[in-house]
């Protein structure tokens, strides 16, 4: 999978001096024969429109080589077997680059002197690396991930409390009551291992087990403790771990249930929603609040002409584009929650957003995508100034 990176975007912005093609389209995150066929058909239809526009701006002969590459993708089974929520393609007369998107983007074609990488910048602003700990008494699992997917992480965790504490029998030093099976297969008699309430039996050992896991996470060279950690655990396990752990960026919300055997794509969907809500969306809301506090003090603006002028002199610190709708309108049939969709309306083209975004970035500014309802300005733009 070819993920978006800042360096890749920077490379694309260096291409200029000729008419180039940018294409965006939604795809299915989980590839099956049916979804791949649907994605191929959507791409084929959009490609026809894109080539018509491109040939109006240049000659058919000059793009013959790249056209063949673009058309070859239509029936490339391997290409369509590895998909995400969206696809972006960037073509010149002698080159082709493709990128998978972590969020959906409406079908969009742009032919110009430069690539329109603004949707890429917005998609990148929606991404965040994180960890998932599928916690249980036996065989806990650790994953690293981002908005695209999660992968198992090679950090050695104890397979059980007995393994962690190096004891033969769990809770051997606690006030545990153990049942003894009767000859008839029942469990009607009990032998007491120590004295006390069974509800609290073994709690000390259990907490030690959780602290050992926390310590391993905190000290592993594989871990970056500045990244958020999502728990996937039962209510009791999650509560105990939060009480025992010192991990600095453990998120409050967690994925409820035992998920050590949950398919990775399902666990990713559940955990990413939490990460997006508590990090990406929370940060965007903070930016909007800052904009609302400063727009009357000439430290922020939603006026398009004013923002263009401010961008030219490097005054724009952050440009918030209201082009990321939160919606259930997805090409995917398995989407459980409302999800972000990059929607490029007529105003996006008429306001020359591609040029504005590049100007902001070239002067050291940042591009962020947000829901237009959250931005709530006539232009669906919000600019925060440096001074």
Amino acid 200: pLDDT: 55
Q: What is the pLDDT of residues 290-307, one digit of tens each?
A: 999 998 888 999 999 999
The strand order across the sheet containing 339-342 reads 104-105, 339-342, 324-327
- Render pLDDT for 97-142 as a digit per residue (tens, 0 to 9): 999 999 999 999 999 999 999 999 999 999 999 999 999 999 999 9
Residue 142 or residue 18, greater confidence? 142
Task: Examine the pLDDT at 221 and tell me if it is beyond 90.
Answer: yes
The mean pLDDT value for 78-100 works out to 96
Rg (CA), the chain: 26
pLDDT at 180 over 90: no
- Assess whether pLDDT exceeds 60 at residue 187: no
**8 A C-beta contact, residue 170 and residue 161:** yes
Quote the Cα angle for 340-345-351, to 5°: 120
The least confident of 73-77, 80-84, 92-96, 169-173 is: 169-173
Given a cut of 70, is residue 336 above it in pLDDT?
A: no
Rounded CA separation 300/306 (Å): 10
């Amino acid at each position: 999978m070819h993920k978006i990176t800042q360096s890749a975007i920077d490379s694309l912005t260096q291409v200029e001096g000729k008419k180039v093609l940018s294409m965006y389209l939604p795809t299915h995150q989980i590839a099956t024969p049916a979804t791949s066929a649907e994605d191929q058909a959507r791409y084929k239809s959009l490609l026809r429109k894109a080539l018509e526009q491109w040939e109006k701006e240049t000659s058919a002969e000059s793009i013959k080589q790249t056209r063949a590459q673009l058309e070859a993708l239509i029936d490339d089974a391997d290409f369509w077997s590895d998909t995400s929520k969206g696809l972006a393609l960037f073509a010149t007369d002698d080159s082709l680059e493709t990128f998978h998107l972590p969020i959906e983007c409406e079908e969009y074609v742009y032919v110009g002197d430069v690539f329109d990488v603004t949707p890429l910048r917005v998609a990148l602003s929606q991404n965040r690396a994180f960890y998932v700990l599928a916690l249980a008494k036996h065989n806990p699992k650790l994953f690293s991930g981002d908005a695209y997917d999660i992968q198992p992480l090679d950090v050695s965790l104890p397979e059980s409390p007995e393994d962690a504490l190096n004891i033969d029998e769990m809770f051997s030093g606690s006030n545990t009551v153990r049942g003894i099976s009767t000859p008839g297969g029942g469990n009607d008699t009990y032998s007491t291992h120590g004295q006390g309430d069974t509800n609290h039996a073994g709690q000390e050992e259990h907490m030690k087990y959780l602290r050992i896991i926390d310590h391993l996470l905190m000290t592993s060279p594989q871990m970056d403790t500045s990244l958020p950690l999502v728990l996937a655990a039962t209510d009791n396990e999650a509560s105990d771990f939060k009480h025992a752990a010192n991990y600095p960026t453990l998120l409050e919300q967690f994925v409820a249930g035992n998920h050590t055997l949950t398919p990775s794509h399902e666990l990713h969907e559940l955990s990413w929603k939490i990460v997006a809500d508590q990090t990406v969306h929370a940060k965007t809301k903070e930016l909007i609040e800052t904009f609302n506090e400063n727009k009357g003090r000439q430290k922020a603006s939603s006026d398009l002409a004013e923002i263009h002028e401010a961008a030219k002199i490097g005054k724009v610190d952050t440009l918030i584009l209201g082009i990321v709708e939160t919606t259930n309108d997805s090409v995917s049939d398995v989407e459980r929650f409302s999800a972000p969709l990059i929607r490029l309306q007529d105003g996006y083209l008429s306001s020359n957003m591609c040029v504005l975004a590049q100007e902001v970035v070239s002067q050291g500014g940042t591009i962020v995508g947000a829901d237009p309802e959250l931005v709530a300005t006539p232009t669906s733009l919000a600019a925060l100034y440096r001074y």
